[in-house]
Amino acid sequence: MKSKVATVVPDHYKVMDVILNYIIFDNPVPPPLQSKKYYKLVDGIVNAINAEDENLMIFFEAAITTVLQDKLTANNLVDIVKCYQCSNEKIVINKLFDLQKNSYSFALQNFPTDLSDKELANTLLVRRFFPVQIFTFLANRFAAILTQVEITDQGNITKDNYEHLKFICQQLFDVSLIIDFTTADLFSCDRSQHNFFSDTDRRNYQQWVKYELENQPKFTINIY
């Protein structure tokens, strides 16, 4: 896997390992090794990877939302913002969204795409909701990671495979490789039928979301 790798990975990239551990282990750290070689995966990711493609995105959206709302610390959220701000994904985030959005849930497909960096951070840090730009960044990153998960017949991964997944977490990818990830299995389902029929309805909905984000103490959107 060709990539542009940071010579010294900034400390804030460690949050990507935390997210990875919650998604594949439902824990901030790996479980005890089995037979000095294997880690047990959570059933959800095993079932999602082995089932239909749409299930993988549904699993990822639910898992990342649970991690955000119930698992991550305030410092973790700050680190996610820092990762996004310095990423190459941010350079092409609107293109990524256009290429990936049809696999997203209704709320994410129609989330406002014109928020400022300050509004993005506020949505994440104060509201504990992923603005679609940061969700797109994480989805693209984990599309690369999930293609590399090698599940054994017992629902495990090897220690070497886990270390490889962590290695991917810590990389800064070239833009050309980032675009390649938009064809990964995570985005192969089409949920665009669950959408507005007119641009006017979509704009009205986006204005409502922005108003609620600005005025409600803690505003969350059901992504399903």
pTM for the model stands at 0.86
CA distances in angstroms from 179 to 55, 82, 99, 212, listed in the order given:
22, 21, 9, 32
Q: Tell me the domain boundaries of the chain.
A: 11-215
Tens of pLDDT, residues 91-115: 999 999 999 999 999 889 999 988 8
145: tokens are 């990671």
Residues 178-210 pLDDT 10s: 999 999 989 988 887 767 767 888 788 888 888
